Structure 1
Amino acid sequence: MHNIPNPFIVLKTSYIDKSRFSIIENELKNNCISDSSSSEERNLFSSMLKQFLFNLIKANNDEKKLRYSRTYSMFCTGNKYYKIILRINGDVRPKNLKKAYNLFRAIADTLCLTGWTEQNIGRWYGSLQTEIWLSEKCKGYFNDLSNVIFQNDKERELVVMYKYTSQEKERIKFSNGNKTYISKCNFVRKLNIFYENCKITVKGKINITSYIDSLLSSLSKYARISPVKMILCSENVYDLEFELFDKSVRRAFSYSVFGKGGRYSAVWTNFPEALQEIIYLNHSNIPLIKLDFQSFNPSMCYSLIGQPNYGDPYRIDGIDRSIVKKMITRILSCENKQKAIGSINKEFKEFSKDKIIEIMSIIEEKHSAIKNRFFYKNNSAKLMNFESSILTDILDESIFKRGIFVLPFHDAILTSFEDANEVINIMKNSYIKNVMNYLSKNGIELKSEINPIIKYK
């Protein structure tokens, strides 16, 4: 049984032996903080070192290694690769988070230099997946590690240090207090327990591209999948088979606010289309199929004003649909027109600035009803949050109320062919329910019946 990853657990650190900890603390202190450091900085150093050692010992007992990012920007934005997240105790303000992170790095490096730990610097100069674990010296120093640290089995669930700043606390309060926070945690935990008892395999003939090869190597390296079986059928085409070990899902909220972002992510959400098409559940001989909301973001913008969107919002005469789709995505996600033009220009270098403005004007004219959603700050994160709320309802209704297996995939759902029609009805009902709740809450009149289009992939 694998540990259930849950990014919301904050571990206690009260069981570390004080006398042994003091010796390590004194050995590291001179390298990490100066004599002129304030009492606040000294307390932060002591607290951070204690948390770090506590998690290292827990990881050792579970025969795991801790992972973290050595790049501040990736460390703070909740990158999916790392497992150590900084927790700041006391009255440390968010503006000092980078300073605190530099101290964290100093502790990690000094622990290695003094022989208490070993680490393997990850890819991109440590930006991703740097691993750190206890050295034999440290294991011998603490003797029976499990008796030193653990008081009960409930604390053995996960090795994580959670970034919990005073600013985050205020934002959590803003999101209806801890009840919202806890309910989101509990649903993810419930979901992960369900998936843990399922067997998910990927098998079939596909063309192995450089991206797929790199992805499989990365997943294998960190034991997120079983050893990959590959049999060459023809040039670059292989008969592929492996099982997912890491079946956990996570939710990433933007800016630490529950009203923004919140998409479900997992190992399979990084799969390219070729791998998505050959995912199997348990011992079924038929792969899962993908059910996708058509043109989700622009269609949702229309739904949120109580007006249905007739036809394909990405279809404009004389312009390639894929170009229109990418442009609408930029228009809905960029906070002003200049940023949208710059982003589009990077992707479509064959278009002049005047041509981009011309196409954008045609799009704005076609979708004038939702023009207030264009170039709207945080619009993309808010739409993503609405999407994730709909997905949560779908997962809850399908798995826990009707016993139907489904996997979340951004704004889509993976399920078996025989359950497809029932899941489509659940998807439509969840979409309509969330839209109607929004319209009712904001006093917006429903001008016509909402009928989301769901397509097979």
Structure 2
Amino acid sequence: MTVSQEQLLKEALLEASPLQVHRKTDYPSMNEQLSGIFSEIKQLRKANDKQMRKAQRVRKHLDVLILDLWVAANYSKSPWRMISLNRNDYTKDARYRKLFLKYDLFNGVLKNLIALGYVEEKIGFFDKAKGEGFQSRIKASEKLLDLLEFDISKIERDPEAPEEETIIKKDENGKVIDYVDDEFTNQMREDLRKYNDLLRRSNIGTDGIDLRNKYDPTCITVKRIFNGESGGGRFYCGFWQTMPKDDRKKLTINGEEVCELDYSALHPTLAYALKGIPVTDDPYTIEGCDRSEVKKAFLVLFNCESRQHALNTIRSEFRIKNAESLLQKIEQKHEVISKSFYNPGFGLHLQNLDAWLAEKIINQLTERGIVCLPVHDSFIVSKKHEAELHHLMEETFYSIANTYPVIK
């Protein structure tokens, strides 16, 4: 394996997402293919003098594995899926571990698929001394992919599978943490249940978009992620959120063309509003600066721990060479809010505010039966609902900022 191949493999392994356990299909030709692989597993076990117990449940575990590995290979950036080989993770009560799978059945099917050459595996590890580890990864082999002729539109969510946790909390290091539910988390979860039910009943069309190895159109369960004590709360996990704007324009909702409305310069506008100052011009337009570079800089200004941290981030992530000059000009133009720069706590507070805006907008539209697809500070609806969305975005912003935003 060459250096470049090793690097590509490393990147693919790091980009792996967890195995999705809620997939099923009732499509005859796809079921025939799955039945063929199931027959091979039965023959393999018979040859090894192993009895097939709980055949129906074994088949369900097989279907979950094959369907999700096929989706990963064809519609995800990485064909690898993360899996746990720790029996303790296959429990019903853990908040983030509702795997819907039995360890012995899952592990048995996985070993069979590996033995048949249908699945490749990278075994994980855990270094107790360093407290670091690498979760095991699996992917469909070329042998398996050559065998399958699937249609992603024929893969649906298994109604018997448990709902994933939709309210996710992380610590300062980005690791998920457990928490005690209260009336607020319960209400947010119920709101998300209603919203996700509406999404699942709707047809989010992608016919005009090249999905292959980019977007998984079955990822429509939206979740909220909180960071630290209470920061963030943004809406994530909808497949449309990773699309560039040009692709999002090609979406349809229930067969209708869409429009996308965006809060212009939301975070600097909120920072000014918190000081009682309405924004009358574009915060990203600064004489002698490229507007796109100013916008990129603002992505980190409120979230970096120091000015030097911001400089390093702007240079490394955005490849902006004149970072020092750019920051000076931003600080001069926005002196009024500059004391809020380089303050991760304030950055999380801004994320919390924009999440609150999104929550109010999504909940109200859901109550009206209007499908809305959030992309952080912008919202996609059918064109016929554009005026209604615009009015709702204005009034919701005014309710917390006492000033009207610019909406594009």
TM-score normalised by L of structure 2: 0.61
Q: Shift of the alpha carbon at 1:374? A: 0.1
Question: Would you say the 8 A contact 1:249–1:264 is kept in 2?
Answer: yes
- 2:243 pairs, out of 271, 286, 293, with 271
Partner Cα separation in structure 2 for residue 423 and residue 250 of structure 1: 21
Question: Would you say the 8 A contact 2:235–2:376 is kept in 1?
Answer: yes
Partner Cα separation in structure 2 for residue 183 and residue 249 of structure 1: 15
**SS of structure 2 residue aligned to 1:288:** strand
Alignment of 1:439-450 (within 5 A): 449-450=402-403
Question: Would you say the 8 A contact 2:225–2:232 is kept in 1?
Answer: no
- In structure 2, what is the equivalent of residue 253 of structure 1? 226
Partner Cα separation in structure 2 for residue 301 and residue 124 of structure 1: 47
Question: Would you say the 8 A contact 1:252–1:264 is kept in 2?
Answer: yes
- In structure 2, what is the equivalent of residue 373 of structure 1? 340
**SS of structure 2 residue aligned to 1:415:** strand
Aligned residue identity for 1:249: V
Partner Cα separation in structure 2 for residue 325 and residue 60 of structure 1: 48
Question: Would you say the 8 A contact 1:330–1:340 is kept in 2?
Answer: yes
Partner Cα separation in structure 2 for residue 409 and residue 60 of structure 1: 34
Q: Structure 2 unaligned segments of length 5 or more: list them.
A: 1-19, 24-56, 70-77, 91-102, 125-133, 141-157
- In structure 1, what is the equivalent of residue 396 of structure 2? 430
Q: Report the CA distance shift for 1:158/1:337 in structure 2 as closer, same or farther (over 3 A).
A: same
- In structure 1, what is the equivalent of residue 331 of structure 2? 364
Aligned residue identity for 2:266: F
- In structure 2, what is the equivalent of residue 399 of structure 1? 366
Asked if 1:337 is matched to 2:342, the reply is no
Q: Report the CA distance shift for 1:58/1:342 in structure 2 as closer, same or farther (over 3 A).
A: farther
Aligned residue identity for 2:366: I
Question: Would you say the 8 A contact 1:59–1:159 is kept in 2?
Answer: no
Q: Deviation string for 1:214-246 (max 9, x for gaps)?
A: x52354xxxx4xxxxxxxxxxxxxxxxxxx444
Partner Cα separation in structure 2 for residue 116 and residue 159 of structure 1: 27
**SS of structure 1 residue aligned to 2:355:** helix
Q: Shift of the alpha carbon at 1:324? A: 1.3
Q: Shift of the alpha carbon at 1:122? A: 7.4
- 2:282 pairs, out of 303, 312, 319, with 312
Residue identity over aligned pairs, in percent, reads: 22
Q: Report the CA distance shift for 1:117/1:373 in structure 2 as closer, same or farther (over 3 A).
A: farther
Asked if 1:419 is matched to 2:391, the reply is no
Q: Shift of the alpha carbon at 1:3? A: 9.0
Partner Cα separation in structure 1 for residue 171 and residue 318 of structure 2: 42
**SS of structure 2 residue aligned to 1:340:** helix
Question: Would you say the 8 A contact 1:4–1:193 is kept in 2?
Answer: no
Q: Structure 1 unaligned segments of length 5 or more: list them.
A: 6-56, 69-78, 90-106, 133-152, 207-211, 225-243, 437-448
Asked if 1:217 is matched to 2:213, the reply is yes
Question: Would you say the 8 A contact 1:263–1:387 is kept in 2?
Answer: no
Aligned residue identity for 1:267: F
Question: Would you say the 8 A contact 1:424–1:454 is kept in 2?
Answer: yes
- In structure 2, what is the equivalent of residue 196 of structure 1? 200
Question: Would you say the 8 A contact 1:120–1:130 is kept in 2?
Answer: yes
Question: Would you say the 8 A contact 1:261–1:382 is kept in 2?
Answer: no
Asked if 1:454 is matched to 2:404, the reply is no
Partner Cα separation in structure 2 for residue 398 and residue 312 of structure 1: 28
Q: Shift of the alpha carbon at 1:188? A: 1.4
Aligned residue identity for 2:292: S
Q: Shift of the alpha carbon at 1:195? A: 0.9
Q: Shift of the alpha carbon at 1:4? A: 7.8
Question: Would you say the 8 A contact 2:169–2:226 is kept in 1?
Answer: no
Asked if 1:299 is matched to 2:269, the reply is yes
Q: Deviation string for 1:59-100 (max 9, x for gaps)?
A: 9369313989xxxxxxxxxx9x968689889xxxxxxxxxxx
Q: Shift of the alpha carbon at 1:305? A: 2.1
Q: Report the CA distance shift for 1:123/1:179 in structure 2 as closer, same or farther (over 3 A).
A: farther
